[in-house]
């Protein structure tokens, strides 16, 4: 019952109303997933620096926890614009920063700390509750950029908290994010294989393995299209999935095609969603919407 959405602006110079559009699509799908909502938005690049968002925790003294992170960052060069809002700390780091070392340094401070997103353009914001709650806390409708994905979640197998919410970052590969609706039936087999190679899992959500799998494939030199093609081969189950990188948006629909997914493409934009109502609600105009087909895979690139 989860809802997923994606939007790709073909022009606008990085100043399209990405946040407002993704939020409008999510609101139309709010009844599919009342447990949590989240967005992964791709803004304009910031002179090669990386944007980092860190989950401070689900409760407790978040201000004190933010101070812990701020103090730890003093040992890294090129850190700037540190701020906090809601459950997140946000800051910029220089492009030459060792991102794995930075992540390890932050997450070693407290078991509740988690680097939720990291990228030259990517920012993930998610929380429990409705899309309206997300907007009230983080004003995502004000964010501009080029493309993005969003998710509303109905929890069927795992906890309802910020970490288990979607989108998922790849936890390693900058700017890669996914949203997923469905079930990965060989999840436990894949998870054991990754854990044997030292990969850390942050949740019990089977969608997390999708981000890890795509990150592995792209890190080995695959394009996003090639990684999604291999996903059809290696990840069993019934699912629809959207994936985005710094310059791309793509989707894949599995062999069984039990999970709904519709799309439209015009001269101005591409929009993909679980239901047509999400596209129509956020994007008025004259265009046709069609159902994605069995094993269909599409990728758009800037």
- Last residue within a domain, chosen from 120, 144, 175: 120
Q: In 99-234, at which residue ranges do the beta strands (DSSP E only) sit? A: 114-119, 122-128, 147-153, 168-169, 177-184
The confidence band for 300, taking pLDDT boundaries of 50, 70 and 90, is very high
Q: Which of 44-48, 97-101, 214-218, 251-255 has the lowest mean pLDDT?
A: 44-48
Region 212-227 average pLDDT? 97
Q: Quick check: 231 and 214 in contact, CB under 8 A? A: yes
Mean pLDDT within 209-228: 97
The pLDDT, as a whole number, for residue 276 is 98
Q: Inform me whether the pLDDT recorded for 156 exceeds 90.
A: no
Q: Is 250 found in the same domain as 108?
A: no
If you average pLDDT over every residue of the chain, what do you get? Answer: 93
Q: Are strands 177-184 and 168-169 parallel, antiparallel or unpaired?
A: antiparallel
For 264-282, what is each residue's pLDDT tens digit? 999 999 999 999 999 999 9
Nearest to 41 by CA among 246, 205, 279, 251: 246
Nearest residue to 50 via CA among 126, 102, 125: 102
Q: 231 and 138: one domain?
A: yes
The CATH number given to whatever domain includes residue 167 is 3.60.20.10
The pLDDT confidence band at residue 157, using thresholds 50, 70 and 90, is: low
Q: What pLDDT, on the 0 to 100 scale, is given for residue 140? A: 95
Please name every residue paired with 40 in a beta bridge, in sequence order, or none if there are none.
Answer: 124, 149
H-helix segments, 3-156: 18-28, 62-72, 99-107, 131-138
Domain shared by 101 and 139, yes or no? no
Lowest mean pLDDT: which of 3-12, 45-54, 253-262, 288-297?
Answer: 45-54
One domain for residues 212 and 92:
no
Q: Exposure of 221 by Cβ count < 10 A (0-12 exposed, 13-18 middle, 19+ buried)?
A: exposed
Number of domains in the chain: 2
Query: What percent of the chain clears pLDDT 70, i.e. is strictly above it?
Result: 98
Confidence of residue 14 (pLDDT cuts 50, 70, 90): confident
Question: What's the whole-number mean pLDDT along residues 54-59?
Answer: 88
Same domain for 295 and 189, yes or no, is yes
Q: Domain of residue 284: give its range.
A: 3-45+128-301
Q: Are 214 and 287 in the same domain?
A: yes
How much is the pLDDT for 11? 85
User: What is the tens place of the pLDDT at every residue in 89-140?
Assistant: 999 999 899 999 999 999 999 999 999 999 999 999 999 889 999 999 999 9
Clarify whether residues 144 and 215 are in a common domain. yes
Sign of CA dihedral 63, 69, 71, 74: negative
Looking at the structure, do residues 177 and 270 belong to the same domain, yes or no?
A: yes
In whole angstroms, give the CA distance from residue 160 to residue 147: 27
Task: Give dist(CA 155, CA 161) in Å, integer.
Answer: 10
Last residue of a domain, one of 97, 120, 143: 120
Annotated active-site residue 2? The verdict is yes
The answer to whether residues 22 and 149 touch, using CB atoms and an 8 Å cutoff, is yes
pLDDT grade for 30, boundaries at 50, 70 and 90? confident
Q: Does 40 lie in the same domain as 80?
A: no
CA–CA dist 302, 294 (Å, integer):
26
CA proximity to 73, closest of 85, 82, 61? 82
- Residues 243, 140, 1, 210, CA torsion sign: positive
Q: Which of 2, 31, 139, 241 is catalytic?
A: 2
Q: Is the pLDDT of residue 146 over 80?
A: yes
8 by Cβ neighbours in 10 Å (0-12 / 13-18 / 19+) ranks as buried
Q: Are residues 7 and 144 in the same domain?
A: yes
End-to-end alpha-carbon separation of the chain, Å? 31
CA proximity to 38, closest of 134, 121, 145? 134
How high is the pLDDT of residue 253? Answer: 95
Residues 277 and 169 both lie in one domain: yes
- Strand ranges in the chain using DSSP code E only, listed in sequence order: 3-9, 36-42, 50-55, 80-85, 88-93, 114-119, 122-128, 147-153, 168-169, 177-184, 237-244, 248-253, 262-265, 269-273, 290-291, 297-301
User: In which band, very low, low, confident or very high, does the pLDDT at 302 lie, cut at 50, 70 and 90?
Assistant: confident
Residues 162 and 251 in one domain: yes
- What single DSSP character describes residue 207? T
Of 98, 120, 142, the residue at which a domain comes to its end is 120
pLDDT of residue 158: 64
CATH number of the domain to which 110 belongs: 3.30.70.100
């Amino acid at each position: 019952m989860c809802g997923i959405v994606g939007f790709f602006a073909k022009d606008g110079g990085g100043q399209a109303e990405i946040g407002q559009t993704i939020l409008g699509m999510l609101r139309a799908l709010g009844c599919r997933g009342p447990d949590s909502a989240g967005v992964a938005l791709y803004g304009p690049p910031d002179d090669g620096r990386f944007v980092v968002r860190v989950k401070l925790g689900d409760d407790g003294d978040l201000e004190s926890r933010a101070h812990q992170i701020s103090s730890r960052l003093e040992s890294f060069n090129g850190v700037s614009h540190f701020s906090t809002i809601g459950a997140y700390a946000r800051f910029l780091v220089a492009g030459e920063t060792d991102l794995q070392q930075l992540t390890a340094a932050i997450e070693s401070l407290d078991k509740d700390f988690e680097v939720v997103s990291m990228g030259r353009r990517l920012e993930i914001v998610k929380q429990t509750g409705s899309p309206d709650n997300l907007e009230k806390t983080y004003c995502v409708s004000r964010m501009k950029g080029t493309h993005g994905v969003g998710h509303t979640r109905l929890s069927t197998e795992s906890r309802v908290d910020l970490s288990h919410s979607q989108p998922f970052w790849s936890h390693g590969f900058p700017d890669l994010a996914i949203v997923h609706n469905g079930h990965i039936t060989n999840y436990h087999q894949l998870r054991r294989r990754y854990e044997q190679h030292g990969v850390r899992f942050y949740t019990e959500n089977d969608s997390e393995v999708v981000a890890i799998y795509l990150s592995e494939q792209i890190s080995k030199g695959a394009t996003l299209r090639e990684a999604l093609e291999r996903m059809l081969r290696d990840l069993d189950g019934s699912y629809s999935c959207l994936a985005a990188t710094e310059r791309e948006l793509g989707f894949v629909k599995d062999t069984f095609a039990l999970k709904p997914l519709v799309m439209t493409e015009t001269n101005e934009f591409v929009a993909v969603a679980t239901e047509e109502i999400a596209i129509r609600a956020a994007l008025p105009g004259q265009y046709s919407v069609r159902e994605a087909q069995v094993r269909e895979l599409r990728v758009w690139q800037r």
